[in-house]
Structure 1
């Protein structure tokens, strides 16, 4: 079943999503859809609210992009949901995300590929299959 998700009507394609981790959830109202990002990245300050923090056994990495470089750690969340479309046991990057714009996270190509996403810029919607 296809799920059409309305994108924000701004200069950048923002959506809202919900992250589930360790029997808790948090809503992220300002998440950027970024086909130039290979991975989905969530803001550390927000994820700490549901107990998602760096632990000794976590794998650390560095990501680089137009917004600069960031140290991240990798976690598998119980699920990530975008307007009713949910992917379970999904690995995300967690970082400080000090990119000069106020965002809660980035939906990257990893999510879009699993969701078989189609971005319709004429209608400003993301279709997840």
Structure 2
């Protein structure tokens, strides 16, 4: 089922992430740790990368190494574009290099996670994913 819906889920998540990134959100800062924003960025880009990795693999039938590289580059470029748009289009938000770093950590975490799953599956002679 995921193979059939992965592209739609990826698009919806991308639209949601774009909206959350460009709209002013009023949160009570007393309950959120100072590094909470960076944790959100990291987790959001882990999910973003995994979704697009699945889309590139299942819909475009790309080889494993190319899927990893394409998903990572696509996610990185998307994150940089969002940060630039925050600086150019919004008054309440500003682009931040630390956000790009947090996004990149999330992307790298997703790539390492998938790479290690792939390696473990191959070690066990099981090729369920790739």
TM norm structure 2: 0.26
TM norm structure 1: 0.26
Instruction: Give the structure with higher Rg (CA).
Output: 2
More helix by share: 2
